[in-house]
C-alpha cells in the first residue's frame, strides 16, 4: 500500500471488514443497504465516521479522507461494478490502488488486451490510467449460498505517469464512439469527428476498435485535436 487510508466498498455482513479493522489502516467503509449498516454497527461497533451510509455512486469520494490519497477494496456489488470503476477513474488522482472482486466476465473485460473478444471501452479507459491484473478466480463454492456466476479478483495499480498526452475529455468521447458499433471500421464510427477531412481515409482507419491499444486511441485523439485547430 502507498497510503494507510483504506476504503471498503460494499462491506455487506463484514466478511472482509473484520480483517481490515485488525490492520494498521485508517479504515472506512461505505454501504448503501441500511439493514447492513445497522448490522455492521452492532457487530463491529463502527462509528458514523467509519461507516458511511450512502450510495457510493452518488458520493464525492474526495471528501472521504479530506482530499488525501486512499486505496479501495471490496467485494463490489456486481450490478454496479463497472460504474464503480468509472468512479475510480474520476477520482484517480486520489486513488493509487484498487483490489476488488468482480463477476468474472467484467473482471476479464477490464483487464483484457487488444484483440480480445471482450476488449472494449471499459478496458481502454481503465488501462489508460491503471495497470490492470487478474489475481485469481473465485468459484461459486466459496459463497453461501453459491451464486450462478464465476467471480474473479483483480488489481488496478495506477500508472506512474497517468496523465494522457491528449485532451482527456475528447479521448473518452473517441473511445466511446469507436465502440458504439464495435464491428464497424473506425472510418465509419468516427466519421463525424473527422468531418471535412480526408484523414479517416488512411489505412489506419480500416481497423476495428478492438484491435487498438490505448496509445492508438491517444494518437487518434491528437489527430482530431490538430484538425480542430486548423478549422
Spatial strand order of the sheet with 97-103 comes to 51-52, 26-30, 5-9, 71-75, 97-103, 151-158, 130-138
Q: Tell me, yes or no, whether 185 lies in a domain.
A: yes
Q: Are residues 71 and 112 in the same domain?
A: yes
Q: Are residues 87 and 127 in the same domain?
A: yes
Q: Are residues 24 and 118 in the same domain?
A: yes
Residue 1 pLDDT more than 80? no
Could you tell me if 153 and 135 are in contact, meaning their C-beta atoms sit under 8 angstroms apart? Answer: yes
Q: What is the mean pLDDT of residues 39-55?
A: 92
What CATH code is carried by the domain that includes residue 78?
A: 3.40.50.150
Q: Are residues 55 and 97 in the same domain?
A: yes
Measure the CA dihedral 221/223/224/227, to 10°: 160
User: How remote is the C-alpha of 119 from its chain's centroid?
Assistant: 14
Which of 75, 85, 50 lies closest to 64 in space, CA to CA?
A: 50
Question: In angstroms, rounded to a whole number, what is the distance separating the alpha carbons of residues 93 and 18?
Answer: 28
- pLDDT bin (cut points 50, 70, 90) of residue 212 is very high
Q: What is the mean pLDDT of the chain?
A: 92
Q: What angle do CA 214, 217, 222 make, to 5 degrees?
A: 125
Q: What is the mean pLDDT of residues 116-128?
A: 96
Q: Tell me, yes or no, whether 163 lies in a domain.
A: no
Reported pTM? 0.92
Q: Are residues 116 and 190 in the same domain?
A: no
Domain boundaries, position 141: 5-158
Rg (CA), the chain: 20
Q: Are residues 18 and 44 in the same domain?
A: yes
Strand spans (E) along 56-123: 71-75, 97-103
The pLDDT score that the predictor gives to residue 72 is 97
Q: Are residues 141 and 202 in the same domain?
A: no
Note the pLDDT tens digit of each residue in 163-178: 999 999 999 999 999 9
Note the pLDDT tens digit of each residue in 147-205: 788 899 999 999 998 899 999 999 999 999 999 998 899 988 998 888 777 776 788 88
How far CA 157 is from CA of 100, 127, 180, in Å, comes to: 12, 10, 27
- How does DSSP assign 176-198, residue by residue? HHHGGGTTS-HHHHTGGGGTT-S
The pLDDT score that the predictor gives to residue 144 is 72
Q: Are residues 30 and 106 in the same domain?
A: yes
Question: In angstroms, rounded to a whole number, what is the distance separating the alpha carbons of residues 186 and 179?
Answer: 9
Note the pLDDT tens digit of each residue in 65-117: 999 999 999 999 889 999 999 999 999 999 999 999 999 999 999 999 999 99
The pLDDT score that the predictor gives to residue 230 is 67
Amino acid at each position: 500500500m502507498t497510503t494507510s487510508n483504506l476504503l471498503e466498498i460494499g462491506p455487506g455482513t463484514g466478511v472482509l471488514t473484520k480483517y481490515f479493522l485488525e490492520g494498521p489502516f485508517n479504515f472506512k467503509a461505505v454501504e448503501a443497504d441500511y439493514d447492513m449498516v445497522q448490522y455492521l454497527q452492532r457487530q463491529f461497533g463502527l462509528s458514523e465516521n467509519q461507516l458511511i451510509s450512502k450510495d457510493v455512486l452518488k458520493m464525492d469520494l474526495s471528501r472521504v479522507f479530506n482530499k488525501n490519497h486512499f486505496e479501495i477494496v471490496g467485494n463490489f456489488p456486481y450490478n454496479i461494478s463497472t460504474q464503480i470503476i468509472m468512479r475510480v477513474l474520476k477520482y484517480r488522482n486520489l486513488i493509487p490502488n484498487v483490489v476488488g472482486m468482480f463477476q468474472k466476465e467484467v473482471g476479464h473485460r477490464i483487464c483484457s488486451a487488444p484483440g480480445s473478444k471482450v476488449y472494449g471501452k471499459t478496458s481502454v479507459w481503465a488501462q489508460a490510467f491503471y495497470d490492470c491484473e487478474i489475481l485469481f478466480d473465485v468459484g461459486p463454492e466459496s459463497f453461501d449460498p453459491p451464486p450462478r456466476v464465476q467471480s474473479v479478483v483483480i488489481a488496478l495499480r495506477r500508472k506512474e505517469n497517468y496523465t494522457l498526452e491528449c485532451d482527456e475529455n475528447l479521448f473518452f468521447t473517441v473511445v466511446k464512439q469507436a465502440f458504439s458499433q464495435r464491428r464497424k471500421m473506425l472510418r465509419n464510427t468516427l466519421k463525424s469527428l473527422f468531418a471535412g477531412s480526408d484523414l479517416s481515409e488512411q489505412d489506419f482507419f480500416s481497423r476495428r476498435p478492438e484491435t487498438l491499444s490505448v496509445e492508438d486511441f491517444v494518437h487518434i485523439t491528437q489527430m482530431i485535436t490538430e484538425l480542430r485547430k486548423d478549422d
